[in-house]
Amino acid sequence: MGSLVVLIGLLIMPMCICMTMSHAPNAFTPNGFDNPRTTVVIINDLGGSLPLRYHCKSKDDDLGDQTMPPRGSWFFEFKPSVFGNTQFYCSFSWGNELHYFDIYRQDRDRLFAKFGCRRCEWKIHKNGPCKLNKDNGMFDVCLPWN
């Protein structure tokens, strides 16, 4: 009977350890291999009463044609690739204008980059998009259209 209790204990202990480790924060994941969900937020800051028409997609996902009212916003979420090559690009149009921009590039926007983010917020202006600077809370990381 005593050996049966020891045997059951030896079987149950590894299962408890595995369950505990699976619910613990993953301290063993190297920085480059963590794969948190990322949110991209787009805000229409064209000014006036201009609606923003846009179409965003990646190599694998097409998020469709959409229209955003003035001062409106829209977001999408995804898990970046563990290989570091996730990219979403959008076309933006208003009036007779049409521009393209890489709204998320993993090499530029990954969490630990200078202006990296897990929640990447962009204001779309007529002269180009400006990203929220997490250091000062301002949309002052402005990039040119593609």
Q: What is the pLDDT of residue 111?
A: 73
pLDDT along the chain (146 residues), means of 10: 55 46 40 72 97 97 97 96 93 97 93 80 97 94 96
Domain harbouring 90, CATH code: 2.60.40
**Structural domain contains residue 24:** no
**Structural domain contains residue 42:** yes
DSSP sequence for the chain: -HHHHHHHHHHHHHHHHHHHHHHS--TTS-GGG----EEEEEEE---TT--EEEEEEESS-EEEEEEE-TT-EEEEEE---TTS--EEEEEEEETTEEEEEEEEEHHHHSTTSTT--SEEEEEEETTEEEEEETTTTEEEEE----
**Structural domain contains residue 19:** no
**Structural domain contains residue 6:** no
Q: What is the pLDDT of residue 113?
A: 72
Q: What is the pLDDT of residue 30?
A: 44
Q: What is the pLDDT of residue 1?
A: 59
**Structural domain contains residue 125:** yes
pTM: 0.75
Contact by Cβ (8 Å): 131, 143: yes
Contact by Cβ (8 Å): 44, 129: no
Phi, psi of 20 (to 5 degrees): -65, -45
**Structural domain contains residue 9:** no
**Structural domain contains residue 26:** no
Q: What is the pLDDT of residue 98?
A: 98
Q: What is the pLDDT of residue 15?
A: 47
Q: Into how many domains does the chain fold?
A: 1
Domain housing 136? 38-142
